Amino acid sequence: MSSESLRLVYVGRDIELRIISLLVRAQELADETILIDLGSSDRTIDLANEFGCQVLHYTDDVLTAPKLAKLISSSSVKQDYANLIISITDDWKLRELPVVVNRSREGWDVYLAFNNSVSNQELIVEDLVIESLEIDHLFLSRTGLDELSKANSMTSTHNFPKHLRVRVIESVDKISLPQRESLATASRFAQMFYWMLETKHPLFLFGIPGIVLFILGFRLSGNVVDTFNELNSVSIGVTLTTIAMTLIGLFAMMVALILYIMGKQVEQIQSQYDLAGYDDKSI
């Protein structure tokens, strides 16, 4: 088992927002990665192909372990790999990947972790039919892949050869440990605040101080007019200061908007220039 290279097999549908992070993480843990697509209607397949990941298409309506094994065995992918198959659902988290990869180091020929849709029901795992189980993750050695691809609709754990190490187990909820959050992940507002600090965004550098000065100046101007009934050096100075504060705030807000619009225009021009350069190189 230890001599076999590891292939990571993702099984999913419409995961374009996650596929790149999944493939990048898989490069660190596996020797090869493929995607079994269940009929995506978004850009999942295109992104996988651009990344260099081979895509297999699963056409059956019901996802079962034996059919997955037959698909891999009959495909053009290399057959000298151990296969770790992971079903990517909305509940599956990328942080679970290293734990699942450890299954490849435990020496199993067939290791199937399944989801139990009826949580209150007691199950006798040894009597379960393999084809009826909802896959959470599945590890197959080269020998295990061959044997599982031969399984039929009535195959259970008792039907595998005695020399194979087979385990079928119900997938349990992952232990959720409290984690310390950084400023960048504490909340959406904190992420925006951190991004503005890092990028020195004009709406932050000029817009927020401008809004503060404008509001303070506008609110104080009414109090100044009501307080001072006669003109003198003090009243004129306070009045001019209040007016200046209001005008500076208004000017800062205008500068922030102008810089923001100009920045967007520059980014658009740069993207067009880079795209044109790319087209010239490709020619």
Q: Is residue 179 part of a domain?
A: no
Q: Is residue 240 part of a domain?
A: yes
Picking from 115, 139, 170, the residue at the C-terminal end of a domain is 170
pLDDT band at 79 (very low <50, low <70, confident <90, very high): confident
Pick the more confident residue, 229 or 5: 5
Q: Both 115 and 195 in a single domain?
A: no
Query: Residue 100's domain is classified under what CATH number?
Result: 3.90.550.10
Q: What is the DSSP string of 167-188?
A: EEEEPPPPP-------TTTS-H
Q: Is residue 264 part of a domain?
A: yes
Q: Is residue 34 part of a domain?
A: yes
Q: Both 224 and 143 in a single domain?
A: no
Pick the more confident residue, 176 or 26: 26
What is the model's pLDDT at position 225?
55
Q: What distance in Å separates the CA atoms of residue 71 and residue 66, rounded to the nearest whole number?
A: 9
Q: Both 148 and 194 in a single domain?
A: no
Q: Is residue 283 part of a domain?
A: no
Q: What are the contacts of 185-188 at 24+ separation with CB within 8 A?
A: none
Overall domain count for the chain: 2
Q: What distance in Å separates the CA atoms of residue 23 and residue 48, rounded to the nearest whole number?
A: 8
Q: Is residue 180 part of a domain?
A: no
User: pLDDT tens, 224-235?
Assistant: 555 555 556 666
Residue-averaged pLDDT of the chain: 79
C-alpha of 85 from chain center: 18
User: 96, 83, 90: which is closest to 54 by C-alpha?
Assistant: 83
Picking from 170, 200, 232, the residue at the C-terminal end of a domain is 170
Q: Both 150 and 22 in a single domain?
A: yes
Q: Is residue 22 part of a domain?
A: yes
Q: What distance in Å separates the CA atoms of residue 42 and residue 57, rounded to the nearest whole number?
A: 14
What is the model's pLDDT at position 152?
81
Q: Both 113 and 239 in a single domain?
A: no
Q: Both 19 and 136 in a single domain?
A: yes
Q: Is residue 272 part of a domain?
A: yes
What is the model's pLDDT at position 118?
56
> Which residue range forms the structural domain that includes residue 126?
5-170
